[in-house]
């Protein structure tokens, strides 16, 4: 299905970093969902580069809703969100043509698109293409909040520095709109310092984002092949830089005993819960009513100013390259808005499959 995500509620993505515009089409949304333009703008600003820890490229992300919204509410027909490109410095990139930036998609893209790809600024592979995902996700996330479903993410690890442990019920709402989302502000300061240090070194750093979703009804998802883990990971691995995804205790579960890993069930206030949540709210691929918890590993930004060994794939010969231009020494904090958006879109899709096309606005 290529550039289309979802089954009942879909998002079609388009655009290149230095093209005319980028955008997304949301299809299958319930009619009557309130569209909060301020909220969407606020989410876009969380993704936008800002300050010294980001690229100097200034993206205003002024978005236009071309269709599907009338009198401030969704009509139920497709919503096209368009973000015109601006402040594109294509000349920065022209010297790179034919040279494979290490860690970037240039060479695999060339193998797929035979040189017809718009390589300027990463083209369709650019992290910039996540902006319409954020806008689309924000529209949906606001609707999920009205249904009692809350999504929040913190930087659980950056450059080897750990944040405090998240308590989903307590933290998700508080985290949602924080620009640099950490629970331990002192750890956050050290992370900032590590980013600036990497920038000084003409280098970059990566990290881990941990997300929790509170309020998902039990009984959503499928045993095969659309487990909640399957559809979430499918979407999350589309985010550039994500190279690992785990649910609940994830890789740590591999070292546990069954007696440690199994979450005991209890009845609490008339509701069935588990006393631990090693499984991250999902059993047999289906939600069990506990918070959904997952983590994404993000590799360090590949665009670094150090000189690197590479090839000219058109000429087929070895070369060196130094990538100038404006780069992010870290995109972990910016990726957070994308992860939240992806979670909102994916879960809303599963809910629409389960409860029908009117549910989100009911």
The footprint of its own copies on residues 25-54 (CB under 8 A) is 25, 27-28, 31-32
Binding part of the chain for its own copies, among 42-50, 78-86, 87-95, 169-177 by CB under 8 A, reads 78-86
Going 239 to 204 to 173 to 253, the CA torsion angle's sign is positive
Taking the least distance from each CB to its own copies, the nearer of 46 and 205 is 205
Contact between 357 and its own copies (CB under 8 A)?
yes
Angle, in degrees to the nearest 10, between helices 332-355 and 130-146: 50
Selected from 46, 96, 100, 143, the binder of its own copies by CB under 8 A is: 100
Residues 196-235 vs its own copies: string with x where CB under 8 A?
A: --x--x-xxxxxx--------xxxxxxxxxxx-xxx-xxx
**Cα angle vertex 290, ends 289, 291, to 5°?**
120
Binding part of the chain for its own copies, among 6-14, 44-52, 166-174, 181-189 by CB under 8 A, reads 6-14
The greatest distance separating any two alpha carbons of the chain, rounded to the nearest whole angstrom, comes to 69
Distances 143 to 47, 163, 298, 348, 359 between C-alpha atoms, Å: 20, 29, 28, 9, 10
Selected from 45, 50, 77, 88, the binder of its own copies by CB under 8 A is: 77
Contact between 12 and its own copies (CB under 8 A)?
yes
Distances 14 to 19, 83, 118, 190, 269 between C-alpha atoms, Å: 10, 10, 13, 37, 47
Taking the least distance from each CB to its own copies, the nearer of 148 and 217 is 217
Taking the least distance from each CB to its own copies, the nearer of 177 and 293 is 293
- Which region, left, alpha or beta, applies to residue 62 given φ > 0 means left and ψ of -120 to 50 means alpha? beta
Going 52 to 53 to 59 to 61, the CA torsion angle's sign is negative
Binding part of the chain for its own copies, among 12-20, 35-43, 48-56, 167-175 by CB under 8 A, reads 12-20
Selected from 55, 74, 141, 211, the binder of its own copies by CB under 8 A is: 74
Counting residues that bind its own copies (by CB under 8 A) gives 154
The C-alpha atoms of residue 331 and residue 335 are separated, in whole angstroms, by 6
CA count, 13 A, side-chain hemisphere, 17: 19
Contact between 88 and its own copies (CB under 8 A)?
no
Contact between 353 and its own copies (CB under 8 A)?
yes
* Subset of residues 151 to 170 that bind its own copies, contact rule: CB under 8 A: 157-160
Selected from 117, 145, 178, 184, the binder of its own copies by CB under 8 A is: 117
- What residues contact 354, with CB distance under 8 A and at least 6 apart? 219, 220
Contact between 143 and its own copies (CB under 8 A)?
no
Q: Taking the complex as a whole, how short is the minimal distance between the CB of residue 277 and its own copies, in angstroms?
A: 12
Number of Cβ within 10 Å of residue 275's Cβ equals 9
* Subset of residues 235 to 294 that bind its own copies, contact rule: CB under 8 A: 235, 237-238, 240, 242-251, 253-267, 270, 272, 274-275, 278-280, 282-289
- What residues contact 201, with CB distance under 8 A and at least 6 apart? none
């Amino acid at each position: 299905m290529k550039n289309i995500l979802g089954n009942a509620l879909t998002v079609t993505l388009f655009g290149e970093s230095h093209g005319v515009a980028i955008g997304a089409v949301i299809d299958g949304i319930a009619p009557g969902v309130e569209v909060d333009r301020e909220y969407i703008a606020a989410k876009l600003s969380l993704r936008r580069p800002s300050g010294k820890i980001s690229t100097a490229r200034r993206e205003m992300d002024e978005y236009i809703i071309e269709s599907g919204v009338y009198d401030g509410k969704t009509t139920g027909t497709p919503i096209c969100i368009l973000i015109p490109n601006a402040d594109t410095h294509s000349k920065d990139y022209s010297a790179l043509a034919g040279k494979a930036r290490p860690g970037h998609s240039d060479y695999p893209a060339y193998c797929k698109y035979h040189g017809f790809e718009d390589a300027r600024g990463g083209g369709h592979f650019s992290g910039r293409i996540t902006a319409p995902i954020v806008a689309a996700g924000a529209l949906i996330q606001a609707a999920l909040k009205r249904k009692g479903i809350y999504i929040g993410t913190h930087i659980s690890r950056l450059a080897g520095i750990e944040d405090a442990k998240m308590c989903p019920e307590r933290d998700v709402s508080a985290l949602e709109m924080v620009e640099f989302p950490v629970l331990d502000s002192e750890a956050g300061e050290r992370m900032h310092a590590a980013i600036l240090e990497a920038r000084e070194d003409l280098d970059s750093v990566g990290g881990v984002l941990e997300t929790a979703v509170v309020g998902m009804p039990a009984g959503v998802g499928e045993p095969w092949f659309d487990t909640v883990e399957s559809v979430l990971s499918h979407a999350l691995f589309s985010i550039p830089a994500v190279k690992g995804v785990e649910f609940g205790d994830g890789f740590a579960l591999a070292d546990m005993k069954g007696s440690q890993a199994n979450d005991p069930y209890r009845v609490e206030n008339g509701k069935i819960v588990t006393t631990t949540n090693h499984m991250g709210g999902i059993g047999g691929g289906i939600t069990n009513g506990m918070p959904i918890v997952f983590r994404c590993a993000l590799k360090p930004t590949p665009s670094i100013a150090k000189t690197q060994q590479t090839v000219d794939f058109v000429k087929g010969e070895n070369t060196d390259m130094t990538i100038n231009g404006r780069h992010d020494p870290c995109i972990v904090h910016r990726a957070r808005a994308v992860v939240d958006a992806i979670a909102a879109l994916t879960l809303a899709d599963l809910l629409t499959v389960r409860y029908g096309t009117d549910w989100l606005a009911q």
